[in-house]
Amino acid sequence: MKRSGLLSLLNAYTPADVEEENMYFETKTFVNDNPDCFERTLQIGHVTASGWVISPERDQVLLMHHRKLDRWFQPGGHCDGDPDVMHVAAKEVEEETGVRDFKLVHEGIFDVDVHLIPANTKDPAHFHYDIRFLFEADPNDELVINIESKDVRWIAIDEVQNHNDSESLMRMVRKTVRIS
């Protein structure tokens, strides 16, 4: 079963708070109910993967200024049929930031988030069931801005709220501070 790897990762994960727990159960239900959950063509929503990239000192995070959404986010994107969400997250980190020398901090999920993507000229409104992994990279490595972003930069962990104060990002900030 294509979904078994993700379901195993989800079963081994413990959400940080009640809000994340609700999204966690929502994600498990969605994955169980939709064999094509990794496909962008599933119009109600699909699984996405992203990387929360921190510095070795845990005092900075790598964010990109998303061109279409005009907001700062962690790198991530669609699985496009690939059920290996950790691989997708790593691929997105490399493609969206240019960072090539990074490592997974631990094998499991770092965060689970469900968010609504507004309708646009191509797609109806739908949900992203985002599976997030924690990576570490050297802030001195060269960064590359691609066509999906306006900017890519390391942000001090205590300044993330000045770039994007959404609960989604702030929850990952709190988790990062706890592991520092």
pLDDT at 68 over 90: no
Non-local CB neighbours of 48 within 8 Å, separated by 6+ positions: 76, 77, 78, 79, 88, 128, 129, 130, 131
CA distance 111 to 24: 9
| Span 29-45, pLDDT tens digits | 999 999 999 999 999 99
Model pLDDT, residue 114: 98
Phi-psi region of 112 (alpha: psi -120 to 50; beta: other; left: phi over 0): beta
Residue 67 three-state SS:
coil
DSSP-assigned letter for residue 25: H
Domain ranges for the chain, please list them. Answer: 4-179
Model pLDDT, residue 162: 97
Topology annotation, domain 4-179:
Nucleoside Triphosphate Pyrophosphohydrolase (3.90.79)
Mean pLDDT of the chain: 95
Burial of 129 (C-beta count, 10 Å sphere; 0-12/13-18/19+):
buried
Model pLDDT, residue 99: 95
CA distance 133 to 86: 7
| Span 112-138, pLDDT tens digits | 999 999 898 888 999 999 999 999 999
Between the alpha carbon of residue 154 and those of residues 25, 63, 91, the distances in Å are 32, 6, 18
Torsion sign, CA atoms 47, 149, 135, 176: negative
Phi-psi region of 108 (alpha: psi -120 to 50; beta: other; left: phi over 0): beta
Is the pTM higher than 0.85? yes
Residue range 65-78: average pLDDT?
Answer: 92
List % helix, strand, coil for the chain (3-state, nearest 5): 30, 30, 40
pLDDT at 67 over 90: no
Q: 85-97 and 4-11 helices cross at what angle (nearest 10)?
A: 90
